[in-house]
Structure 1
Amino acid sequence: MAQNSLERVTSNKLGELEPHGKALESLGQTAGHDAVFQAQATMINQAIEDIGMGKYQWTLFGLAGYGWLCDQLWESSVSNALPEIANEFQPRRSGFLIVALMVGLILGASFWGLGCDLIGRRWAWNLSLLFACVFGLVAAGSNSWVTCCSLIALSGFGIGGNLPVDGTVFLEFLPGTHQYLLEILTVWWAAGQFIAAFASWGLLSHYSCSSDTPAGECRKADNMGWRYLFILMGGLTMIGFCVRFFVFRLYESPKYLVSLGKYEEAIDVLNKVAKYNGVTQSLTVEHLRAAEQNAESTDHRREHFKRAVAHLGPRGWNNIRVLWSTKKLALSFALVMLLWGMIGMANPIYNSLLPIYLQIHGAESGDSSTGTTYRNLLVTIVCSIPGTLLGGYLIGMKRIGRKGTLGFSLLLTGAFLFAFTTARTQGTILAFNCIISFTQYIMWGALYYYTPEVFPTFHRGTAVGLAASFNRVCGLAGTLITTYSGFTNVPLFLGASLWMAAGLLSFVLPFETRNKASL
């Protein structure tokens, strides 16, 4: 059956090829890659379907998920440790530690996202975690505020590559029947938050200067908690790197290899993955070359290579320009970028200003002890896990799909954030936190799922990296707004409005990718 399907693909006239439906066929043609690559990508998708969801893919699910876990380990740990670090070093503006982390995340998402389209997935997959763990561990020994911020920025540079690279790698080895697992991957994100919160609770509450320590008198010997926390997070990140680099061999993406004309290597990868899963596959180099013969082309390998490296040349950033090559593709890319940016800006504005708003309007202060604070945080994180699982179900539903799941979850998040301003008791505040955590994780899963799926292989890392970078840039802008603006109601309600506006934009995205294997 697999052989017949491959022969059917290679025997079609190029004008009759239908890789995975009209929507993504149009996307593929407008994205700057030709009908030859569409045919070849279809063959590879069929081969991956024949190989099935086996041991190799499940191992990737664990290791790619662990990369997402590390992302949250560091983001949450730096945020949790900020008060203790500021208490020791007494900076003028403690928020600059978060700014440093955000700058590293921005540069990392851009560099590794673009890099995985240039140098391949394997190097970016391994080196991003190595950067994160090395500089994170060194940051634990910081003796000054500037040193700490600089090292955290470098650690963020490594962490910033995990989301775009790991999602791209995982997607390109998934059978179309199991692409929903990219949404479920956000379970690892929640796990990272949980581990960071639990570790912070144990280390920061027992090994930090007391809250009544006079300014400037918090000594390093009395404030080792945040250093222990960074060492623990660095150790966990190092474990992930060692398993990826020394234990599990990640094969280069076969679609990426085909986009460079390396057909023999692509088939070798498919054969090795099939062997790892204990099955066989029937795609051969001759099938891939048949597509070129049908097109009467002999220069595709050279053109594919030029496409991969053209953005480094003096003529400009072709890998980026091609994302604007037609009106429909430009609209898709612009809306995806806008969604990531709006969400990135709304998050820090609302999260920073809401507690102040509630306090001013008479909310109960309740028990503010460290134990109660981290207990409530852990409860909130646990509530996010069902949201991830529900999102994985909703994205496959016929009447909802990717766009519907994303849009409705954003609208619900915005609505509950507006309603949150009425909370006055600690029980109500915790309930709203749990509900919003639930809806946000549906949203994050859908967003991280849709973005790599809607772009073709040899522009996927670039597009996802740019989207993630823009999200961090807007998050940095939101952080600076909350750092310098003081408190007014306007930015608070602006933040909530951005969530709802992003929800409405989701419904006008031009491509729905449900039931379509990625190119």
Structure 2
Amino acid sequence: MSDDRSALDRTIDKIGMGWYQWSLLALCGFGWMADNMWLQGVAVILPRVQDHFHISDSRIGILSSSIFFGMMIGAVGWGTCADIMGRRVAFQSTLFFAAVFGLLSPFMPNYGSLCLCFFFLGSAVGGSMPTDGTLFIENVPHAKRYLLTALSVFFSLGAVVSSILGAVIIPSHSCPESPDEPCDPNTQNLGWKYMLGILGVFTAFMCIARIVLFRMRESPRFLVASGRHADAVHSLRRIMSFNGHDYPLTIEDIMDGPQDIEQQKDAQPIGSGNARPPLSAGSHQMEYHATNESPDPHLSHNHTFVTPVEEQGPQLPAAPVFAPIPHVHLQKVSKLSTIPLIGHPLAAWLERMELLFTPEWRKTTILVWSAWALIALSYTMFNVFLPKLLESRAIQNGSGGRAQALKQYLFYAFAGVPGALLGAWMIETKLGRKGSLILSTLFTGVCTGAFVLVQSEGAVIAVTMAISLGATTMWAVLYGMTPEIFSTEVRGSATGMASALSRIAGMAAPLLGGWFLAISPSLPIYVSTVICFAAGACALPLPGDAHYPRSKNSSVTFAH
């Protein structure tokens, strides 16, 4: 195995999975939990908000679209922030702002201000999943990277928290179910506000745990990729100390060749900044160096891996060199950088987007991003209206109404918890990541279509639980495989953009679902089923795990 790893890989593997890594697992899990906790919370309170502000069916979906729109902005913004400013800033900031706007949301006086507050809430919590996943995978040994998929357990627990709160609070603090009975929303329909307040308090506690109770160190991989090798050594020493280890660690332990080490001695000292080497205009292949992960079966695939030879003269070790960026594009980026305030971040984001569409990455980028958008569109179109659909069915069947619907939704939420563990197990079997994604999308699509056909209470619970299990497994595999495909320099931007596309789809889903619902109650379900199958088709052209490049010392190319 040592022949396939860089010096940094060997050092991180040697540090192993200690208290620092397990603590990071839990704290990154809080970000994933908050994401789904708020999404499911919106779905649970949607009918009660509609009653409170007297919103029509055609406009109530705007509330869900607002938080998804914010999540789209947050995913792109925080993902790029993680690539430019470091993982630590995004890790500590996302839940802080989510807690602030979550605590403010119950006090919004009207529907418009509530939608605006949810937009800002979404822009904060939406950055948690891509940045937390990136941070976690860069701090654990290769043998434990499957835990990124298992991290989705926290995502499912977020839905459970919201569902329990909804089942306990909403029925006794809402307007009467009969439209003939009078109701004063300001005194009788406050359950949804209580629920938002409690979710805000939960988020605040998770934020405090991240910032106050834990001292997070900057990602060593980010520091090395940024040319800050001495800082990386310092960060690794602190992590070892946290784990209770105490053995020597020098720059030689994170760099491969003696020539690299000599150059680093001539490089800038700690605190010299985040300077990155310029992109080569003449390179047509991606080079992996000790500043990055070495290729292994869990990382990027369909790329060229070459051990680079350093140029003469004292330089920082080179970051990965991508295919040339057109001169015209560089001129546009240069002009954009002159725009006040947003110029430099926008130019940096466009540069990383250009890197993702070089020949080495183009096909993988398009397929992975398409899978994210389609899965989000399918899942959200079904999930966001599920409490309302269950409530309507329960009232029609005379089987308990609102309380019965929330009970069924609680079963739905609990069924998703083992999905993350199932996904973590599946990707380690012969199915691999590609096969697991195809199988889970197929299963979820079939069960979603079956939801239209079932009528009895038991059958409805069974089918919705199967959908929840399949969907959570599907998301777990997708979330786990995406950060592994991209290299350190663009990982935050790539996963952030993938998450942003899923938020765009999630933003469109409630609006499209509302239109389809007006045509036929079954139409949104059928559309969701077809889209789910299309998402699985996006995984078909992706290479299997066995085709991932393994050798660090040879140049291996797979055509896209």
TM-score range, shorter chain: 0.7 to 0.9
The residue that corresponds to 2:167 in the other structure is: 201
Distance 2:418 2:148 in 1: 15
Residue of 311, 321, 327 corresponding to 1:296: 311
With structure 2 as the length reference, what TM-score do the two structures score? Answer: 0.79
Residue of 85, 101, 117 corresponding to 1:151: 117
Deviation at 1:385, TM superposition (A): 2.2
State yes or no: 1:382 paired with 2:414: yes
Whether the 8 Å contact between 2:30 and 2:154 is mirrored in structure 1 is yes
Q: Which amino acid aligns with 1:509?
A: L
The residue that corresponds to 1:272 in the other structure is: 238
Distance 1:316 1:472 in 2: 18
The residue that corresponds to 1:68 in the other structure is: 32
- 1:381-418 superposed Cα distances (whole Å, 9 cap, x missing partner): 22222222121111112x21111111111111112222
Residue of 401, 409, 416 corresponding to 1:369: 401
Distance 1:235 1:172 in 2: 30
Name structure 2 gaps, 5 residues minimum.
264-308, 323-332, 338-343, 553-560
Whether the 8 Å contact between 1:384 and 1:441 is mirrored in structure 2 is yes
State yes or no: 1:432 paired with 2:400: no
Distance 2:10 2:548 in 1: 14
Label 1:299 to 1:458 Cα distance change in 2 as closer, same or farther (>3 A): farther
Distance 2:182 2:315 in 1: 65
Distance 1:112 1:216 in 2: 46
Label 1:499 to 1:58 Cα distance change in 2 as closer, same or farther (>3 A): same
Q: Which amino acid aligns with 1:338?
A: S
Q: Which amino acid aligns with 1:189?
A: F
Label 1:175 to 1:420 Cα distance change in 2 as closer, same or farther (>3 A): same
Distance 1:514 1:221 in 2: 62
Residue of 119, 139, 147 corresponding to 2:85: 119
The residue that corresponds to 2:474 in the other structure is: 443
Distance 2:131 2:117 in 1: 22
The residue that corresponds to 1:170 in the other structure is: 136
3-state DSSP of counterpart to 2:172:
coil
Distance 2:99 2:194 in 1: 14
Label 1:143 to 1:264 Cα distance change in 2 as closer, same or farther (>3 A): same
Residue of 321, 343, 357 corresponding to 2:354: 321
- 1:338-369 superposed Cα distances (whole Å, 9 cap, x missing partner): 00011111123344678999999999735243
The residue that corresponds to 1:392 in the other structure is: 424
Whether the 8 Å contact between 1:176 and 1:515 is mirrored in structure 2 is no
Label 1:300 to 1:464 Cα distance change in 2 as closer, same or farther (>3 A): farther
Distance 2:117 2:391 in 1: 35
Label 1:371 to 1:270 Cα distance change in 2 as closer, same or farther (>3 A): same
Label 1:280 to 1:46 Cα distance change in 2 as closer, same or farther (>3 A): farther
Distance 1:72 1:316 in 2: 27
Distance 1:205 1:51 in 2: 51
Label 1:417 to 1:133 Cα distance change in 2 as closer, same or farther (>3 A): same
Whether the 8 Å contact between 1:201 and 1:370 is mirrored in structure 2 is no
The residue that corresponds to 2:558 in the other structure is: none
Residue of 219, 223, 227 corresponding to 1:253: 219
Give 1:53-92 correspondences, 5 Å limit: 53-92=17-56
Whether the 8 Å contact between 2:62 and 2:115 is mirrored in structure 1 is yes
Name structure 1 gaps, 5 residues minimum.
10-17, 20-41
The residue that corresponds to 1:32 in the other structure is: none
Q: Which amino acid aligns with 1:176?
A: H
Deviation at 1:140, TM superposition (A): 1.0
State yes or no: 1:482 paired with 2:513: yes
State yes or no: 1:459 paired with 2:474: no
Distance 2:105 2:391 in 1: 34
- 1:444-496 superposed Cα distances (whole Å, 9 cap, x missing partner): 11000000111111211100110011011112222211223423455532321
Distance 1:215 1:338 in 2: 48
Distance 2:34 2:313 in 1: 44
The residue that corresponds to 2:531 in the other structure is: 498
With structure 1 as the length reference, what TM-score do the two structures score? Answer: 0.85
Label 1:462 to 1:219 Cα distance change in 2 as closer, same or farther (>3 A): same
Kindly, what percent of the aligned residue pairs are identical? Answer: 29
Distance 1:215 1:454 in 2: 57
Deviation at 1:302, TM superposition (A): 9.0
